[in-house]
Amino acid sequence: MFDIHPDSTFIHTFSDRLEKSENLCTWEQFKLAYRASQFQSISDFDGLLALEHLPHVTFMPHQVEAAKTAIHEMNGRAILADEVGLGKTLEAGLILKEYMIRGMAKKILILTPASLVNQWVQELDQKFHIQAASPRKKHAAWKDWDITVTSIDMAKRENHRETILSIPYDLIIIDEAHKLKNHQTRNYQFVQSLKKTYCLLLTATPIQNKLSDLFNLVSILKPGYLGHLTDFKKKYRGSQNTEHIHSLVGRVMIRNRRQDTGLNHSSRVVAHERLNFTDEEQQWYEKLQTFKENSHAFTWLTLAKEFCSSREACFMSLKEIAKKTTEENKAIITEMIKQLEQLPHHAKAMRMVELIKEKPEKFIVFTEYRATQFYLQWFLQQHGISSVPFSGKFNKSKRDWMKQLFKNQAQVMIATEAGAEGINLQFCHNMINYDLPWNPMRLEQRIGRIHRFGQERDVHIYNFAINNTIEEHIMSMLYEKIDVFRHAVGDLDHILEKIPGGSFENQVQSILEEAESAGEVNIKMKNLVSYVEHTVNERKESS
């Protein structure tokens, strides 16, 4: 059994209790009881007891340090903001295990996107020996379960909300916490109303567009810590007081970058694929200008983006517009739809097939539109290439099934933005950004699906954009000039927050909507990028 030598005080105390008890125990039972008491006693609060209980899990130094900092210096209220793929889930699991061992957390709620609920339950079980419940029915036993993993959407439902808000949780963990950036949403208000002693927010992108994103996240952990939002934005707008805000946020946020962790075993090989429409496609694209000229700038922008993705995506929108417009406009739109149906297969779809055939390995393809997703799956099938879709519309079991099919059978996964949330696909080494997002943070989330902790091979990223369209402006002005891939989120954290007039995406959209010509778009985009580049250089000089 155990090679232990109980001290005399404990033995005498225990012996006295045995003499007074009618239920005597054996020496072996005594040693088991003593061993249990050793586990429950905490002689020193420094360090992590959980590491001794998890010898089968290999934690990286930055993960252990993050757990120590969150527990010992931040009192269990922290934003875990490591770059994508550096193991934030492992850090959170280690913190959770530590609090459980120390008897400081029994009632725990973990809120994740619906697509990640099963993944969390499995990882807690397999890596941390923690059994968690995952409600699937209308009437969940929230008060009976000690550890629960669910989505915010389920938790805030009318038949669950009041019960959950009445429970005093010891620890709450929120994955993909950047979705709570807007303090006016029901999700944010629900999370802020939760009773919690300790709280961990996990996000690789604590700032997506504006400084207020970070303010709102910090306010969930420590309401009032950064003061009032209006005063905060006035005080820290621009380059003044940068060191002070870094100091303030540094007390509640832990951020590790890949280049600082020694985990650069694999590299990103990025290729910008500039493609051309066929003559017929280009002519049809230029006809969309009629929407812009008739003061329908937003409609033009939507249709232009969709047509750069697929005929199918644009077709669906035109059909909806035709239902709501005047008879005169309906005739014009009907004619455009007829011409659209006669166009050849999309230039990007053709290039996608070429790439996949050139390299018989697994690919994940990201698109912004479900109509494009359906089209691409059909198009790949016509060329003898197996694929599976991945969408946020799928239920948990279907998402898991699609991931398994992709790993074991299909060559390609075609994902909408939901595929950028938390799923681990280290077995895949190639990504095609069929449609580029305007926000570099979203792009970073996508790349993090394959370029993450545990990836041993170089990953290849192919970014598609059509020349002489709005996509060309996005690629040339954002992804090449700022060089987001080499500087990644680290620099952009402090750049995007300083762009005048709100979010970067809003600025780009305004330029594209308001410009009268392609030349004007170029000038305005260059001015915006010049501002960003100036901010980058200013920050480098100050550091």
Residue of higher predicted confidence among 527 and 241 = 527
| In the chain, domain spans | 8-40, 50-260, 268-275+343-542
Of 461, 428, 503, nearest to 205 by C-alpha is 503
Examine the pLDDT at 504 and tell me if it is beyond 70: no
Compute the distance between CA of residue 523 and CA of residue 512 in angstroms, rounded to an integer.
11
Q: How many whole angstroms separate alpha carbon 51 and alpha carbon 53? A: 5
Mean per-residue pLDDT, 359-387 = 94
Q: What is the pLDDT of residues 413-446, one digit of tens each?
A: 999 876 656 577 888 999 999 998 776 667 777 8
Q: What pLDDT is recorded for position 350?
A: 94
Compute the Cα dihedral for 256, 443, 189, 390 and give only its sign.
negative
Of the pLDDT bands very low, low, confident and very high (cuts 50, 70, 90), residue 63 is very high
Between CA 191 and CA 155 the distance in angstroms is: 10
CA distance 62 to 397: 33
* Residues, the chain: 543
Inform me whether the pLDDT recorded for 6 exceeds 60.
no
CA distances to 200, 335, 468, 496, 500 from 79, rounded to whole Å, are: 6, 53, 42, 19, 26
pLDDT at 250: 81
Please determine, for residue 3, whether its predicted confidence score (pLDDT) is greater than 90: no
Say if residue 318's pLDDT is above 50.
Answer: yes
Mean of all residue pLDDT scores within the chain = 78
Instruction: Answer whether residue 538 shows pLDDT above 60.
Output: no
Rounded to whole angstroms, how far apart are CA atoms 446 and 415? 10
pLDDT for 106 beyond 70: yes
Predicted pLDDT at 498: 43
Banded pLDDT at 277 (limits 50, 70, 90): very high
pLDDT digits (tens, 9 = 90+) for 189-242: 999 999 999 999 998 777 655 667 778 888 898 888 888 888 877 776 654 555
In percent, the amount of the chain with pLDDT more than 70 equals 71
Asked whether the predicted pLDDT for residue 485 surpasses 50, the reply is: no
Confidence (pLDDT) at 165? 94
The residue that leads in pLDDT, 86 or 24, is 86
The mean pLDDT value for 399-408 works out to 89
E-assigned strand segments in 14-97:
77-80
pLDDT, residue 263, reads: 60
> If pLDDT is split at 50, 70 and 90, which confidence band does 516 have?
low
Report the 10 Å Cβ neighbour count for 161: 15
pLDDT score at 433: 92
Answer whether 50-260 and 268-275+343-542 agree in fold.
Answer: yes
Say if residue 297 is exposed, middle or buried (CB neighbours under 10 Å; 0-12, 13-18, 19+): middle
Please determine, for residue 187, whether its predicted confidence score (pLDDT) is greater than 50: yes
Give me the mean pLDDT over the 261-279 stretch.
80
What's the order of all strands across the beta sheet hosting 108-112? 147-151, 108-112, 168-174, 195-202, 77-80, 253-254
Q: Give pLDDT, residue 421.
A: 65
The model's confidence at residue 477, banded by pLDDT at 50, 70 and 90, is low
* Averaged pLDDT, 110-128: 89
Q: Is 90 exceeded by the pLDDT of residue 24?
A: no
pLDDT above 90 covers what percent of the chain? 29
More confident residue, 214 or 382: 382
d(CA 87, CA 80): 10
Q: Is the pLDDT of residue 278 over 80?
A: yes
Weakest-pLDDT range from 133-137, 141-145, 449-453, 482-486: 482-486
Give me the residues paired with residue 42 across strands: none
The CATH homologous superfamily to which domain 50-260 belongs is Tandem AAA-ATPase domain (3.40.50.10810)
- Write down the CATH number for the domain with range 268-275+343-542: 3.40.50.300
pLDDT for 181: 79
pLDDT at 420: 57
pTM reported for the whole predicted model? 0.61
